[in-house]
Amino acid sequence: MDLAGGSGRIEASVGGAAPRTALRGVSVGTDEGTPETVDSTEVFVEDLRRLRQSHGEPTWTAMARRASNRGAKASHGTLHNAVTTGRLPSELAVTAFVMALTNDRAQVARWLTRRAALVDTASGAEFDGASPVPVEKEAGFWRRRRRIVACVAAVLLSNTVTGLVVFQVARRDQPPTPIVTGEDPARTTCVDDAKIAAASDRNPAFLLEILFSSKCQAGWARATRRDQDGVGNTIDVVIYRRSEPDGGSRQSATEPDVQSAYTTLIVRTDPADRLCATGAITTDHARQVSPEPICT
């Protein structure tokens, strides 16, 4: 803002805007008797509109995004209201408005200097570009709102934590789901502690294994081809109780086009009960079987 000494004239030159000829606010006469515009809130807001027009009138959302990226965060509503309410916008609104359009901190400083002069000559009430509330009252409102939000968040967090604790306790109190013969071991927790209890490659074409879970007291058999000819061929694998090879607990699997296949599991009810397995593969329709079963 430039003060023309002696004439009592104030000329606002911001952002390279052309000198104004339209009269706004209160006019005073010069030595030559021609009126000059005295800066006012109305003129200030109109110049902000012209600044936006000179930069192609970007959308308010685009301006808010640019301002945020340039370190002057403000909502699109604040930027819109800065030039539509007829009141003097706050420093925040002016800073974000000018930064969004010019990305020039020197221009921002000149606009803020001009605005400060208007505040000094006005009632002192400031408008934040969003609602006609004095800055001091608005600051108190936002402080109260932040406290309310913080309290609500704390209550929600507390309830969430309490709910999780109750859920975990209830879950621990529930008896574990029993594992039964015939289940897919991959769909149970038995795979977590499963170990190879027996294995054989007596037939070099494939590896035969029995896997056993101590936690579940259950086992299953697996056969894995040594070649890479799974496509077009099959794998057969069987697990059974040694005490009843052909009993109802016997589990078998025949899988085509795979490199490895496994059976469903057998739950061992007697610690002395042993599990045994056999396997076979086909290669070009020729069947190769394990020479003998393996047992735990």
CATH number for the domain spanning 212: value is 2.60.40
Domain's final residue, options 137, 157, 177: 137
Instruction: Give the span between the Cα atoms of 23 and 42, in whole angstroms.
Output: 11
Chain centre to alpha carbon of residue 184: 35
- 180: in domain: no
- 172: in domain: no
Count of CB atoms situated within 10 Å of the CB of 135: 15
In sequence order, which residues have a C-beta less than 8 Å from that of residue 236 and are 6 or more positions away? 223, 252, 253, 254, 261, 279, 280, 281
Compute the radius of gyration of the chain from its Cα atoms.
41
In the predicted model, what is the mean pLDDT of the chain? 82
Average pLDDT, integer, range 74-98: 95
Half-sphere exposure of 191 (CA within 13 A, CB side): 10
Structure confidence at residue 271 (pLDDT): 86
Residues 11 and 133 in one domain: yes
Residue 4 confidence (pLDDT) above 70: no
Residue 3 confidence (pLDDT) above 70: no
pLDDT band at residue 164 under the 50/70/90 scheme: confident
Higher pLDDT, 130 or 253: 253
pLDDT band at residue 145 under the 50/70/90 scheme: confident
pTM of the predicted model, to two decimals? 0.43
Percent with pLDDT over 70 in the chain = 77
29-33, 211-215, 227-231, 249-253 — which is least confidently predicted?
A: 29-33
Residues 133 and 10 in one domain: yes
Residue 130 confidence (pLDDT) above 70: no
Instruction: Give the span between the Cα atoms of 222 and 180, in whole angstroms.
Output: 19
User: What tens digit of pLDDT does each residue of 256-280 get?
Assistant: 999 999 999 999 988 888 999 999 9
Instruction: Give the span between the Cα atoms of 200 and 216, in whole angstroms.
Output: 24
Contacts of 15-23 with C-beta under 8 Å, sequence gap 24+, read 15/51, 15/54, 15/98, 15/102, 15/104, 15/107, 15/110, 15/111, 17/47, 17/50, 17/51, 17/54, 20/47
- 173: in domain: no
pLDDT band at residue 173 under the 50/70/90 scheme: low
Kind of pairing between the strands at 286-289 and 218-225: unpaired
SS3 state of residue 169: helix
Residue 187 phi, psi dihedral angles, 5° rounding = -100, 10
Higher pLDDT, 145 or 183: 183
Higher pLDDT, 152 or 222: 222
45-49, 161-165, 286-290 — which is least confidently predicted?
A: 161-165
- Tokens 């539509």 correspond to 84
Number of domains in the chain: 2
Find out whether 47 and 36 touch, Cβ atoms under 8 Å.
no
Structure confidence at residue 269 (pLDDT): 86
In sequence order, which residues have a C-beta less than 8 Å from that of residue 99 and are 6 or more positions away? 66, 67, 70, 71, 72, 105, 108
Residue 135 confidence (pLDDT) above 90: no
Residues 6 and 129 in one domain: yes
Residues 126 and 16 in one domain: yes
- 256: in domain: yes
- 215: in domain: yes
User: What tens digit of pLDDT does each residue of 96-123 get?
Assistant: 999 999 999 999 999 999 999 998 875 5
Maximum Cα interatomic distance, the chain, rounded to a whole number of Å: 123
User: What tens digit of pLDDT does each residue of 35-82 get?
Assistant: 456 899 999 999 999 999 999 999 999 999 999 999 999 999 999 999
Residues 20 and 84 in one domain: yes
**74: region left, alpha or beta (phi > 0 left; psi from -120 to 50 alpha):** beta
Instruction: Give the span between the Cα atoms of 212 and 296, in whole angstroms.
Output: 9
Residues 190 and 111 in one domain: no
Residues 209 and 272 in one domain: yes
Find out whether 128 and 114 touch, Cβ atoms under 8 Å.
no
Instruction: Give the span between the Cα atoms of 73 and 63, in whole angstroms.
Output: 10
